[in-house]
Amino acid sequence: MKEIFPLVPVLWAIFLLALHVAVIVRAILRPHRQPASRVAWVAVILALPILGLVAYLLLGETNIGRARRQRARDAWARLPELSATPGWAASELRPQVLERHVHLFQVGHSVNGFEAVGANRASLMQDSNAAVDALVADMDAAQETIHVLFYIWLQDHNGLKVAEALKRAAARGVTCRAMADGLGSRVMIASAHWREMKAAGVKLAVALPIGNPLVRAWKGRIDLRNHRKIMIIDNRITYCGSQNCADPEFRVKAKYAPWVDVLMRFEGPVVRQNQRLFASDWMAEVNEDLHDLLLQPMPHFEPGFTAQVIGTGPTVRNSAMPEVFENLIYAARESLFITTPYYVPDEAMQQALCASARRGVETTILFPARNDSWIVGAASRSYYEELLEAGVHIHEYEKGLLHAKTLTCDEDITLIGSANMDRRSFDLNYENNILLQDVEMTRALRQRQREFLADSREVTREMVEAWPLHVRFFNNALAMMGPVL
């Protein structure tokens, strides 16, 4: 027996070594991963033998869980194709896409199978409060269905206005379905307001519920979230943009307030695409078939612009969101204007933006001056020097946290939605965006972007070069961890 005990530490060391080698091999062989990500994870596992191993097992792979992945894919497959909708082939729905933009909508089609469709109209909401007022007015006028999905839903003035509108609608016989992310809206979900909505007849669902955190972590990553913001009224109206269901004061992070968002209200066949996106999320969590909702005949639409819904996430094809961004960046010929709160790009996106400025496109990116995520804020600034050297104009918004995720390309292409320009939106979160081709709406959004610009300070090469050595080291060190974050 005594001879066995000295062998225990040796056997344990051999086991740990074999386990680390196995995990390193797995990290290297994992498909759909950038080389920088492989190198970063191998370095973490080697530098932090036990901690790095645990970190990789918990956070190293985009693993939503086998059961959840299957449910999401089954829900999507069970829904009818929109081409089966009566009236979908009507002449007014045919898109009028300029030849130079055809490839942009082809990329969008490759994500969800949604075709570009014509006959859409939209209006740009003035601000967050006006957007909620418009949404509530539409909800109060609803006759058949109301569907809402939020990443963050707070118990503040705007959050409760929406909750009360749902209760009123349910009381008069409107079918109301409300879904909120299990992490971002956890306080609302646990509140009396959630229970009151259910008692009033509102159908409720939690997107990606966490349950027991320890058990959940081993079934799939806890930080894979449903970041979508989808609002649909009567299969006729939808909203799309960056706004959560909350006041701009955003009291859970009040020191960064106001949260500055952009939201658009849409009518037209693009609503039905957003409806399919919502239905797939709902059916992945609730045993309710929304098949018939998508087969309601299409109404007659007046002439309008071409648009397309793009919904991405961990159960959608790999690299969808960065491909959409990069194709839009390379499509710009005269001007490109981007607002995003979180910028931690992959190498291809960083080079695309640099190439845009180098070929003479007026390229402007607007970030918040104070970021609610100090890690992302610091990592973002590590990319400033290269962007500025290429000729990109960088500005930082100073009147709150600019949370808007918008892109305008030349004078007629707009992308608006929930996706940031970071790995979380690229790989980890469910996102929804609308791509549209229209001069009027693009000009309206570009004007809003210029208003943000007027409340911003320009960042120059001289300012970046003057940063202390420890600041530059800190920013670059955090950016190196981008593939791991």
Q: What is the mean pLDDT of residues 240-257?
A: 94
Strands (E) in 190-261, as ranges, are 203-207, 230-233, 237-241, 259-260
Active-site hit among 403, 412, 427, 438: 403
Tell me phi and psi for residue 173, to 5 degrees: 100, 5
Contact 111, 312 (CB under 8 A): yes
Q: What is the mean pLDDT of residues 433-451?
A: 98
Rg of the chain in Å (alpha carbons): 23
470 catalytic per annotation: no
For 357-398, write each residue's pLDDT tens digit. 999 999 999 999 999 999 999 999 999 999 999 999 999 999
Q: How confident is the model at residue 1 (pLDDT cuts 50, 70, 90)?
A: very low
pLDDT, residue 95, reads 95
| Calpha distance 361→365 (Å, rounded) | 12
Per-residue buried b or exposed e for 224-255, using 16+ beta carbons within 10 Å of the residue's own CB: bbbbbbbbbbbbbbbbbbbbbbbbbbbeeeee
Q: How confident is the model at residue 8 (pLDDT cuts 50, 70, 90)?
A: low
The three-state secondary structure class of 162 is helix
Contact 93, 119 (CB under 8 A): yes
253 catalytic per annotation: no
**Residue type at position 63:** N
Q: How confident is the model at residue 406 (pLDDT cuts 50, 70, 90)?
A: very high
Active-site hit among 227, 247, 261, 372: 227
Q: Strand pairing of 145-150 and 335-339? A: unpaired
CA distances from 297 to 17, 116, 302, 307 (A): 62, 19, 16, 19
Q: What is the mean pLDDT of residues 211-234?
A: 83
| Calpha distance 140→10 (Å, rounded) | 71
pLDDT, residue 11, reads 74
pLDDT, residue 143, reads 97
Greater pLDDT, 485 or 438 = 438
pLDDT, residue 45, reads 77
The three-state secondary structure class of 49 is helix
> Alpha helix (H) ranges present in 172-311?
186-189, 192-199, 213-219, 270-285
Q: Structure tokens of 292?
A: 């018939």
Question: Of 302, 298, 322, which Cα lies nearest the Cα of 310?
Answer: 322
Question: Of 379, 383, 402, 407, which Cα lies nearest the Cα of 394?
Answer: 383
Domains, the chain, with CATH or none: 7-59 (no CATH), 66-96+120-305 (3.30.870.10), 320-480 (3.30.870.10)
- Angle between helices 320-331 and 347-358 in degrees, nearest 10: 10
Active-site hit among 101, 167, 193, 229: 229
The three-state secondary structure class of 231 is strand
346 catalytic per annotation: no
Taking CA 99 as the corner, what is the angle to CA 364 and CA 360, rounded to the nearest 5 degrees?
A: 30
Percent of the chain beyond pLDDT 70? Answer: 93
CA distances from 202 to 132, 162, 176, 196 (A): 19, 12, 5, 9
Out of 55-69, 283-297, 451-465, pick the least confident.
55-69
Active-site hit among 138, 281, 346, 410: 410
For 14-51, write each residue's pLDDT tens digit. 777 777 687 778 777 777 667 777 777 777 777 777 77
Active-site hit among 405, 412, 427, 438: 405
pLDDT, residue 482, reads 66
Contact 274, 122 (CB under 8 A): no
| Calpha distance 408→334 (Å, rounded) | 11
Ramachandran class of 195: left when φ > 0, alpha when ψ lies in -120 to 50, beta otherwise: alpha
CA dihedral of 398, 430, 445, 343, whole degrees rounded to 10: 40
Q: What is the full DSSP assignment across 376-437?
A: HHHHHHTTHHHHHHHT-EEEEE-SSEE---EEEETTTEEEEES--EEHIIIIISBEEEEEEE
pTM above 0.85, yes or no: yes
pLDDT, residue 483, reads 61
Does residue 5 register a pLDDT over 90? no
What's the mean pLDDT when you consider all of the chain? 91
| Calpha distance 383→156 (Å, rounded) | 36
**Residue type at position 125:** M
229 catalytic per annotation: yes
Question: Of 271, 224, 252, 281, which Cα lies nearest the Cα of 72?
Answer: 281
193 catalytic per annotation: no
- Give residue for tokens 């001007």: 335
For 305-348, write each residue's pLDDT tens digit. 999 999 999 999 889 999 999 999 999 999 999 999 999 998 99
Greater pLDDT, 142 or 65 = 142
**Residue type at position 138:** D
- Give residue for tokens 């007849």: 201
403 catalytic per annotation: yes
Q: Residue 457 has what DSSP assignment?
A: E
| Calpha distance 366→369 (Å, rounded) | 9
Active-site hit among 133, 156, 234, 455: 234
Contact 98, 412 (CB under 8 A): yes
